[in-house]
Each structure stands twice: as structure tokens, then as C-alpha cells.
Amino acid sequence: MAWIDIEEGDGPVLLACPHAGTELPDGVAAKLNGRGSELIDTDWRIDALYDGLLASASRVTARFHRYVIDANRDPSGESLYPGQNTTGLVPVTDFDGAPIWRDDALPDADEIEARRSEFHAPYHDAVAAQIARIKSRWGCAIVYDCHSIRSEILFLFDGRLPDFNIGTNEGATCVPEIERAVAEACGQAEGFTSVVNGRFKGGWTTRHYGRPEGGVHAIQMELSQRTYLESEEAPFAFDAAKADIVRQPLRAALEALDAIGRSGALSARTH
């Protein structure tokens, strides 16, 4: 599928990666200003970080950049965090509040709708198709939404972000066992900090698909990039030594989710 990579595993866990991509259609690239062209808000190397952590997991990864359209935002344009600084369906600024488009090239409503149709909708069609396939096999599906972000962004939050930021929209998007399993794996990781439903409570993917009563459970992991990058500045190089350390609790979390999904306990609750 154009602009989207799909990997089908045989387990109950689906990894969704809406912000790993750095590809831009020519028409979009030409409209970005110098600042926007830096693509600073990418979830840098997040796909590499999760490679091989859970062999049975399925994965849907967007190759298009979030400046084209943000696949983790409500397609209606409604804010996920009313009253707080954030970026929209098609961002007009980066996470630091700086404009990213040329003054004469701001996307209008027609262009936003065209991008929604070409990029946002196919990505979520792919996610929904994988959820349906997994649920038909296991009676449930667990969506784990993979994200990362710079740990200090004054425009979005005060101070330094914890290393692991777990979001379940205050427990609404999954059963307590799933939230607890991820929180315990992260909370027990020596040298790391973690929080559940702090600044990041789960984006549109988590909130849209997380329907525990229907057998679909969703949880978001927003990981501070300092945990696996050499620096939170360009070129955002992958640090293999750091990554090896942070991959341990991430693997523990995914293996715990896989075990929960395979146990049959989630499937039984939908009947």
C-alpha cells in the first residue's frame, strides 16, 4: 500500500506507528519553509527501536511525515487536548510553536481534505483491517501505539518529560490488566521514570480504537527520545547502547500484553 508499510504477525498485539515516517510528496515538500523542512517533530527511529521486540506482533507504519497530515489526530480536526498547546490534523506550527509553511502556502480546507483522503484514511483503513484480522483469530486485539518525543518542549509542557509516558485516556481504552502490565514493566525499569495518563493520555488512535467492551484494547507509549537517541537534536542519531537498555522494559511490556491476549481472558469478556 502506498505510503504505508504493513507487517502481519500471528499474535494478538498490533504495533501502530503513525509518526515514524519522513517521506513527503513533492507538492508538500515545496510548501514547507526552512524550519518545516527539518521535520523536527518526527518520532525519530521509533520503528528501529521496536524492530524484533515481539516477533509475533503485527505492525502498521506510516511512511508519510506528520506534517503531511497527522495520522494520530481526529480527522474532524477536533483537539485531543482542549485548552492546551498542541498541533492539529495538518500542523501549522512545529512543537515549539514555530511556523512550518511558507507564508503563501498554508494548506486550506480543500487541501486538508485531499490529504485526509490520500493519507490519513488509508492508514486507518490498514489499522482497522489488522485489528479485524487479529480479533478474528484471538477474539481480541491489543493496539500498542508507538511514539517518541523530545523530552523538553516548553511550548507543550513544563520541565522534563518522564521517560515512559503511558496513555489509556484515564483507563477508558483498555482493561486494567493491560494498563497495569505496561506500567509495571516500565516502573520496575531501573534508572527510568514513568507516568500513566500524565501529559499524554493517548492520541486519536488509542481513543478511537480502544473499545474494551468490544474486545479491542489500546494503549499509547510516548517515549522520551533521550532514552535511545544520541541527542534530541539533528541528526537525531540512533544510540544502539542506549536502545539496548530501554528495549528491555519495552520487550517486557509487549511480552506481557502478548500473554494477556493469548490467555483467552479478554475474549471471554466480549461474550
Provide mean pLDDT across the span 247-252.
Answer: 98
Q: For 250-265, what is the mean pLDDT?
A: 96
pLDDT at position 2 is 85
Whether 252 shows a pLDDT value over 50: the answer reads: yes
Give the pLDDT of residue 271: 44
SS3 of the chain: the string is CCCEEEECCCCCEEEEECCCCCECCHHHHCCECCCHHHCCCCCCCHHHHHCCCCCCCEEEEECECCCCCCCCCCCCCCCCCCCCCCCCCCCCECCCCCECECCCCCCCHHHHHHHHHHHHHHHHHHHHHHHHHHHHHHCCEEEEEEEEECCCCCCCCCCCCCCEEEECCCCCCCCHHHHHHHHHHHHCCCCCCEEECCCCCCCHHHHHHCEHHHCEEEEEEEEEHHHCECCCCCCCCECHHHHHHHHHHHHHHHHHHHHHHHCCHHHHCCC
Task: Work out the percent of the chain whose per-residue pLDDT is above 90.
Answer: 91
Residue 116, pLDDT above cutoff 60? yes
Please report, for the chain, the start and end positions of each structural domain, with discontinuous segments joined by +. 4-268
Tens-place pLDDT, residues 155-201: 999 999 999 999 999 999 999 999 999 999 999 999 999 999 999 99
Pick the CATH number of 4-268 from 3.40.50.12160, 3.40.640.10, 3.40.630.40, 3.40.50.300: 3.40.630.40
Average pLDDT, integer, range 46-66: 97
pTM recorded for the entire structure: 0.95
Residue 12 clears pLDDT 50, i.e. is over it: yes
What value does the mean pLDDT take over residues 95-103? 96
Stretch 34-38: mean pLDDT: 97
pLDDT digit string, tens, across residues 196-234: 999 999 999 999 999 999 999 999 999 999 999 999 999
User: Would you say residue 241 has pLDDT above 60?
Assistant: yes
Cis peptide before 235 (omega within 30 of 0): yes
